[in-house]
Homo-oligomer: A and B are copies of this chain.
């Protein structure tokens, strides 16, 4: 192991005190004279000095570490990174954090255990949490007292910065589009509708659109299971077999939409000829899938970037304290999975 170059070595070489070095390290301009600044900078680069963040964190309580939490599979074993929605988000977050000189600890959260441990152990400067968790989880989070950005959560608590989209509107425009195209029997295929979750809002939007169009809301046409691909397949089959009246499907995630399409096709139903499908998310994968999916786009990577930027701003104290909800725009992208039937 190469001997570690410390602030002392730099100070010695530059002929100044460690305090001076620390000042320039932390960009405390004005604390040192031009000449010493230059001496120190030279010494640092000559010696190839690399600061030790552990020491810095110990002394200053600032770690430049951000915790990023994403949901896990049911068995709490694997991260849901295979879901392109989350991986896109993480990409955005990472690129922005790196830009701002932060590092990211990506992890799931163990069942039972909370996130308190990790945040305290590592002196996290902040955290980005995706998905929704049980109540106690958030209470714990508050105890740590660091800035936290919640992605896709309708938790009603101004302590947290929340970034999301207007999910209700999303559900509404997706459904409206189908209605405009002449569909009246529109199924909803969705994940579990839980309080404070995005799904609940999309569901509301769906119902609202039906109501606005004076269409009958049929609970039998709501298929509530999961937003994963497999549930889509299952439901697609079911619709093909048992619901000839259904001519369109609004799926609350692209993944489940793709599943529906494949499930339908197993029974000879094709999209959009026989049944129209609208998805939600606009994951990068959809471009590879035939037919190209009409979907509600939410610019996922950009959201990751935004979340990271917001968090860093909060950490570095240049944020409007009062604002806690940030809503990004969405857009219906019309592609080839919807047929006009009148």
Contacts of A78 in B (CB 8 A): 91-92, 94-95, 301
Contacts of A121 in B (CB 8 A): 50-53
Contacts of A242 in B (CB 8 A): none
In the complex, per-residue mask of A218-239: 1 if CB is within 8 Å of any chain B CB, else 0: 0000000000010000000000
Indicate if A18 sits at the interface (CB-CB under 8 A): no
Q: Across the two chains, which residue of chain B brings its CB closest to A84?
A: B82
- Main SS at interface, chain A: helix
Question: Using a CB-CB cutoff of 8 Å, which residues 61-102 of chain A contact chain B?
Answer: 63, 65, 77-79, 81-82, 84, 87-88, 90-92, 94-95, 98
Q: Across the two chains, which residue of chain B brings its CB closest to A88?
A: B82
Bound-state Cα–Cα, A78 to B53, Å = 25
Indicate if A324 sits at the interface (CB-CB under 8 A): no
Copies of this protein chain in the complex: 2
A54 near B122: Cβ-Cβ < 8 Å: yes
A262-B288, A265-B290 given; A98·B108 CB < 8 A: yes
A94 near B120: Cβ-Cβ < 8 Å: no
Q: How far is the CB of A118 from chain B (nearest CB, A)?
A: 7
A-side residues, CB < 8 A to B, are 1-2, 4, 50-55, 57-58, 63, 65, 77-79, 81-82, 84, 87-88, 90-92, 94-95, 98, 103-108, 110, 116-118, 120-123, 143-145, 229, 258-259, 262, 265, 284-285, 287-290, 301
Complex A-B: 27 CB contacts under 8 Å? A1-B144, A2-B143, A2-B144, A50-B120, A52-B58, A53-B123, A54-B55, A54-B57, A54-B63, A54-B123, A65-B105, A78-B91, A78-B301, A79-B91, A81-B81, A81-B94, A82-B84, A82-B91, A82-B284, A84-B84, A87-B87, A90-B106, A94-B107, A103-B107, A104-B107, A259-B288, A289-B289
